[in-house]
Structure formats: C-alpha cells, structure tokens
Structure 1
Amino acid sequence: MTEELRPIQAERLARELDWNLLRTFIVLAQSGSVTRAADRLRLKQPTVSSALKRLEDRLGRKLIHRKPGQFELTEAGTLLLKEAVEIQGSILRLGTLMRDVTDEVRGHVEIAMASHVVSPLFDDTLREFHECHPAATLSINVSASKNALEAVTSRRASLAVCLVRDRNPKLEYLRLFREFFGLFCGPPHALFGKSDLTKTDLAGQSAVSFVTDRLEDALRPVTLMRAEADLEDRVVGTSANLEEVRRMIIAGLGVGPLPVHVVKRDIAEGLLWQLPPYDALPQIDVHVVWNPKAKLNRAEKALLEMLLEKIRQTPIEERTYR
C-alpha cells in the first residue's frame, strides 16, 4: 500500500465503519468468549461471530485468535479495544452533554430496597446518575423484600433491589449481585473467639435470624444451613432489617446468619466471630426488579436503563461478593 492511498482508505473507513460493530467487539473482548458476549448483548452466537468477521474484513486485520480452549486478542485487537473504549466514552459524554444543554432530565425516583444492600456497582450507578441528571431526585425506602416487591407490583416504587423467591410473571428481574451467608456470634457468646470449631459445636445453640429465613421463603438456603448446624429450633429473635439481626447477634442473643462481605469490618473490629460451616456457604442472589407496565417518568427511566446496562456490561464474577 502506498502512502498516497492510506489517507483515502482511512477516510473511507471513517465513513463506512459501523459503530455497532465496534460496540460488539468491545463486549466480546471484555467477555472473553462469544457465548458470554452473546448473552450480554442478547444476541445469538452466530450473530456475534458474524459481526467480528465483518469488522476484521473491514479493517483487514485479525483481531482475535479463537480456537477450542483459546481466546486471545491479537496485537491489532488490543490496539482497537483501547481506541474503541475511548470512542465509546466520547459518545457517552456527548450524549450527556446534549441532554444537559437541550433536555434536562427531571423527576423523582422511588427505590424500594432490602436492608443493607452492599453493592459497589449500585453505588456507582447512583453517583453517575446524579452527575448526569443533577435536577432529578430520589428516595430509598428500606423494607422486607416481600414489601419491596409489592411496592413495585402496585407501582408505588420505580424499582426494587431485593431478594426473590417466587417470580411474578408481571415483573421483570435482573440479578444485581450474588452474596454468601455465614453464621456468626457476638462477644458475649460462649463460642466467640474459639478456633477449630465444627458444626457439632453449634448443636443446641440459640438462634436469631431474618423473617425470610424459612423453607418457603427467599432465604431457604440459609434455613437449610441453620438446620444442618443443628441450632435450637426456636429462633429467639427475628427482624426484616439486617442491622437489627446484626444487633441481636452482637448482643449475644444467639447465633445468626449474615452476608460475609457485609460484615468484614465487624469481624476485623472484634464485633463478630464467624462459626462453621466455613466452606460451601449458601449463596443468595439480590435482584433488580421493575414493572414493565409502569409508566416511568424520565428520571425513573434514565436510572433504570443506566443500572441495567451497567449490570449487563459487568461479568457476574465481578458481581459476586465472597
């Protein structure tokens, strides 16, 4: 290729290159497989593979080495990914600027949330939403997951972030993150600070827990964990609020379940002590739930779309808190 032809080719590429091909390539490169990329894009695998081939043909470069057990960006693919991500950022910033100048988003967002949801992804979404739409307002109402779902069903809430046991076909669901529950006791408890404990040491100990810690409810795996530990059948204290369950455990009322990633600081500060089992802990999924029939204002729609897009762009491994 001569030097005289290169500017012509570059101009043609800028004119004819489809942005959707670049967007698909970004998701594909970040996902590490066609299957995961197709799931995130909600496309069929052949469609994703075809998009990659069209992009490679357009650029005249191999972008990804693919064969069984191998998925690796070429040097050209690595360079393209860096540039494409910058282009994507510029497009997103341009859209935000245009909205701020010509069409400011206003309105109130009502979020129904289970107690003490700890999710960096959700926090980042709230921050970005406020930066993009400073005129919008929001409120977060904490309640039991059952009540949060009822608020969305009745359209009293814009969306819910909560546990889900049985799915209502009238609602839409997307997993926000996965957490793991362990059993804990507080400083007054006889087992506090003891090492080399086994599940047999927990037999007959009094228990505290959540109101949803029942076989027929959202915390069924936690109920089974308590049963396997042979804790006392009678639960001496319950609450729908994680902070209150935590309070009862720290106060020494009994052994109770808590999300491990939420109480790391309490463990470090000597307020809680983890008890067996230490492996194969029950996993609980926290979902974003919304009503597709609800007429959302522009602020509600903007926050929901932003949150769902961020979830879909983030692999579940990065949304799993161990």
Structure 2
Amino acid sequence: MDRDAENLARQLDWNLLRMFVVLVDSRSITLAASRLGLQQPSVSSALKRLEETLGRKLIERGPGKFNVTDAGKQLYREAVDINGSILRLSTLMRDIQETVQGHVKIAMASHVLCEFFDDILGDFHIQHPQATVEIIVGPSHHVIEQVVSRQASFGICLVYNKHPKLHYKHMFREHFGLYCGPKHPLFGKKNLTTKDLAGNNWVSFTTDQLSDVLRPVTLLRAKAAPEDAVVGSSANLEEVRRMILSGLGIGPLPVHVAKRDVEMGYLHRLPPYDDPPEIDVYVTTNPATKLNRAEHLLLKNLTDRIDSIPLEDRIFGG
C-alpha cells in the first residue's frame, strides 16, 4: 500500500461513505437527511468533508440540479460494495455466534430403543453439524452416577429410586417379555404356559434383582421358575440377546426391541403373554450442571418432543 492510500485509509470516515450512498440513491439532500435521521446542514457538511478528504468534486448541486460526477460515480460503486460488506459483518458475527459447537455426552442404559429419540439425534446433526455427540452405555445406576457427578450432559435410563438431586422426565414405557433362541427345546412350540418354563436355565440382566430397576422382571422370573438357575448375565442388552440366541437359557427382553428378531425367526416369545412387566424410562438431568449451547439445545429438543407426544403413544410393546 502506497503512502497516499495509507493516509486516505486513516483519514476516511466510513460513515461518510454510507451517507454518500444514501445521498446518491436519494438524489436529494432533503430526502437523504430524512432517511439518515439527520438535519440537512449535517448532510451537506458531510458531503463537503468527504470531497475534501478525497480531493474530488463528487456531486454538482444547484437549483434543480443534482449530478453525480465521474469521480462520484466511481466512489459510489466502491462505496456500495464497502457498505454491503459492513452490513454483512453483523450477519457474519451472528452466524458465528449462532453456530452451535460443543460436545454432548449422553449416558444411556443399553436397552433403550426409541424411534423419536433417534429422529431427534438426526435432526440435531442436520441443524448443528459442528456439534459432536458421544453416547456411553452402561447399567442404569452407572447412568445416574454419571449425571450426579456432572460427567454426562444428561442420562436416559430406567429408574427405581429417584435421586433427590436430579430431575426426571418420563420418556417412555416399555414392556418386557420372555424369549428363547432356536437352540432351545421350547423354541417354536405353541400353547405353552408358564408351567412349561420350569426346569430351564435362565439368562438376564445384572440389574435383574428385587432391589433394582428391573424388579418387575425379577418378580416375573421368580413366579415362573423360582428354583431355576441364572447361568448368564450382562448389563448390556446385546449380550443378553446373544446368550438367549446361543441357547444358554430363557431370558427377558423389551418386547418392542425383540419384535424384529421374532418376525425373522431368531427369537421365540414365551408366556406369559398378558400383562407383561412394564418399565419406565426417564431422561435424567442434573440442575447443577452448566450446559453448553449444544447440550442445552439437544436436551430441549428431546423434552419438547416428549411433551408433544401423548403418553399412550409413548408406551411400547404392551
């Protein structure tokens, strides 16, 4: 940049350029003053200062006369671009401010299958592609620990005893059924009753205890076969499913989760078929956790969607 251009850049008032654009567009000192919210002498004075700064006559004025000079036309073209760039700055700054970045860490129980939650995740990624999501899976009590310790943005899990420091939002209700795999002697058999379940090995979740979140499932198993052995267990639904498919024993699964396997002939539903155990799944939050924008928006999208769906449409596998 040469010295004259550098001096001009230091001396030039950008507000004069904005005034000049409005003045040329208005073709009237009076109208330009009105649009700018200024007095006419102020606009005339601003035009004079701009002409003095540039050392060029920009507009020839007189009674009934308003002509933009060649220098004025050249300045107008450049000033329009400059003014447009300045106006776009606010949009650029807003876009930067509104670009949702940040990381969302969700602690989740392994047997959560919910289509509207999947839709929320997909929509969130489309709307905020620079935000990242991490889902950690574990037993429901681990989910609660993650939320209490503020290591997770929020949790989705089964709840038996509500922690006093957390907030809970009822997400959906699921029903559990009993299943066996193709290698099991009961596979494919019809007209079975709960009496037919006695004398078989079982697999289940590590939380399948009277004092834990799957208490209703525990009671079902205890009623059907109180003396039978549990030969396999896992906190992970996929592993419980694996053991059932492998023929280790009879096991519980959420009915809506197992539906496709039943239709494909991989699993066989066992009695009881009426009044299956029901388990409630909650979105769990810690009010002491300070959420970033990504966390706040994803959580809000989820809770808003829950509120928009009647409870009867959030009951699965009944």
TM-score for the superposition, normalised by structure 2: 0.69
Contact 1:207 1:236 in 2 (8 A): yes
Contact 1:205 1:232 in 2 (8 A): no
Aligned equivalents of 1:120, 1:265: Cα separation in 2: 14
Structure 2 counterpart of 1:142, from 121, 134, 137: 137
- Structure with the greater alpha carbon radius of gyration: 2
Letter in 1 for 2:102: G
Shift of 1:233: 3.8
Shift of 1:181: 0.3
Q: What are the Cα deviations for residues 1-36 of structure 1, in whole angstroms up to 9, with x where unaligned? A: xxxxxxxxxxxxxxxxxxxxxxxxxxxxxxxxxxxx
Shift of 1:134: 1.5
Match of 2:164 in 1: 169
Aligned equivalents of 2:297, 2:150: Cα separation in 1: 17
Aligned equivalents of 1:99, 1:187: Cα separation in 2: 59
Structure 1 stretches lacking a partner, 5+ long: 1-97
Letter in 1 for 2:253: L
Structure 1 counterpart of 2:245, from 238, 241, 250: 250
Q: Give structure 1 regions of 4+ aligned residues with deviation exceeding 3 angstroms.
A: 98-102
Q: What are the Cα deviations for residues 106-155 of structure 1, in whole angstroms up to 9, with x where unaligned? A: 11000011114210111111112112211111111111111111001000
Match of 2:184 in 1: 189
> In the alignment, is residue 263 of structure 1 matched against residue 254 of structure 2?
no
Output aligned runs, 1:27-106, within 5 Å: 103-106=98-101
Contact 2:175 2:316 in 1 (8 A): yes
SS class of match (1:227)? helix
Letter in 1 for 2:202: A
SS class of match (1:226)? helix
Output aligned runs, 1:152-231, within 5 Å: 152-230=147-225
SS class of match (2:165)? coil
> In the alignment, is residue 276 of structure 1 matched against residue 267 of structure 2?
no
Of 101-110 and 244-253, the range deviating more from structure 2: 101-110
Letter in 1 for 2:272: P
**Identity rate of aligned residues, in percent?**
59
Letter in 2 for 1:134: P
Contact 1:104 1:133 in 2 (8 A): yes
Aligned equivalents of 1:132, 1:188: Cα separation in 2: 46
Match of 1:236 in 2: 231
Q: 1:304 to 1:204 in 2, by over 3 A?
A: same
Aligned equivalents of 2:117, 2:94: Cα separation in 1: 23
Letter in 2 for 1:237: G
Aligned equivalents of 2:172, 2:224: Cα separation in 1: 26
Q: What are the Cα deviations for residues 263-289 of structure 1, in whole angstroms up to 9, with x where unaligned? A: 111111111101110000000111110
Shift of 1:234: 2.4
Q: 1:247 to 1:294 in 2, by over 3 A?
A: same
Contact 2:111 2:254 in 1 (8 A): no
Aligned equivalents of 2:94, 2:159: Cα separation in 1: 35
TM-score for the superposition, normalised by structure 1: 0.68
SS class of match (2:256)? coil
> In the alignment, is residue 303 of structure 1 matched against residue 281 of structure 2?
no
Aligned equivalents of 2:167, 2:150: Cα separation in 1: 13
Letter in 2 for 1:319: R
SS class of match (1:262)? helix
Match of 2:23 in 1: none
Aligned equivalents of 2:206, 2:144: Cα separation in 1: 15
Match of 1:112 in 2: 107
Aligned equivalents of 2:285, 2:116: Cα separation in 1: 18
Shift of 1:101: 7.0
Shift of 1:211: 0.6
Q: 1:274 to 1:100 in 2, by over 3 A?
A: farther
Computed over aligned residues only, the root mean square deviation of the Cα atoms, in angstroms, reads 1.5
SS class of match (1:263)? helix
Shift of 1:100: 5.1
Letter in 1 for 2:242: R
Contact 1:207 1:232 in 2 (8 A): no
